[in-house]
Amino acid sequence: MQNLMQRQKVSEFVRAALECSVYIAPRDPGLAYDELLEIGKRLGYQEGEIGDALPGATAPAYFGNRRLQPARNPLWLEFHIGMDPEYRNVAAFDFVGSELGALVRSLGVRKARIERSALIARALAKGLPERDVEAAITIMILGEHLAEEAGVVWFAPGRETWPLASSQAREGRDSIHSEIRATAYAIVKDVIERRGDGRPTSVEPLDAFVDVLERLGYEPFRLWWKQLLSELRRSDTVLSPVTVSVLAAALVEGALTFVVEHARRLGLGVFGSKDCTYRRT
């Protein structure tokens, strides 16, 4: 029973993290597997249980898709029920629906199409936050409310009569609270921002060192380092103290080997000693 509850909790985390990525990076939603592991580790989840939770918590994988995508959430486009915390901007959803609805009335369903960039430009002119509108469009596409091709969006068949978000959202409506979503949002935001701000992909030094290996000229050793680190974390210090010691020593020796040449170039400490017999092969 406890194992089942834990698996459900991990599945909820995976769904919440992937959904948060849509609000944070709506033009490039989803998370790489390593990013999901990084977020999970910060919340206390392990690699094995995260991997086991992926089926059912993620959308089917398609060729060329670099990231895990969120599974369809039937509540995303239902505003009768609120989400707590609520990251959906009702005004942004209303704007997208109203603009496309106006095109349907003037051009007809078949011709009611618009460039996504043009839709965003109109939203900005009305003072709406760009990211909120982008998130609304992406969510409507993921929810099969809109279709998109080559940067052009239109209503999916039959969706042009769907009521606006504001007509569904009423005061006093019930909300579904998700503590995991609330906790995951800030971590997902940090991980996504690390894609382009120059910081290591991980806050943990041993994990972050993987990204340094390529700059040091040891890119082929990335997999070796990650596997060794994974084995160390799976080992029990009480039941297998010798194994833990050997793995930890191998990581230390590897790290010293990888940095010694770089440290010598910088003239750092004992790495410049003539007694150091290290030679790169």
- The ranges assigned to domains in the chain are 2-75+178-193, 89-174, 205-272
114 by DSSP, 3-state: which? strand
Which stretch of 12-16, 136-140, 246-250, 270-274 has the lowest confidence by average pLDDT?
270-274
pLDDT, tens only, 255-269: 888 888 777 777 766
Residues 209-218 pLDDT 10s: 887 888 888 8
Q: Average the pLDDT over 11-26 and give the result.
A: 95
Q: Could you tell me which residue, 222 or 134, shows the higher pLDDT? A: 134
Decide: 78 and 39 in contact? Cβ < 8 Å: no
pLDDT of residue 185: 96
Query: What is the residue-averaged pLDDT of the chain?
Result: 87
Residue 172's pLDDT is 63
Give the percent of the chain with pLDDT over 70: 92
Torsion of CA 253, 257, 258, 264, to 10 degrees: 130
Mean pLDDT of 9-13: 93
For residue 146, give the nearest of 104, 108, 94, 100 by alpha carbon.
Answer: 100
Are the C-beta atoms of 90 and 79 separated by less than 8 Å?
Answer: yes
What pLDDT sits at residue 265? 77
Res 133: pLDDT: 98
Q: Which two three-digit tokens encode residue 162?
A: 């769907």
User: What pLDDT score does 278 carry?
Assistant: 47
Higher pLDDT, 277 or 28: 28
What are the tens digits of pLDDT across the range 101-110?
Answer: 999 999 999 9
| CATH 1.10.10.10 describes domain 89-174 | yes
Comparing CA positions, the residue from 58, 76, 72, 80 lying closest to residue 13 is: 58
| 59-68 pLDDT per residue, tens | 876 656 778 9
The pLDDT score that the predictor gives to residue 251 is 87
Q: Which of 70-84, 140-154, 164-178, 228-242 has the highest mean pLDDT?
A: 140-154
* Tokens coding 51: 């991997």
**pTM across the whole model:** 0.77
CA 140, chain centre distance (Å)? 19
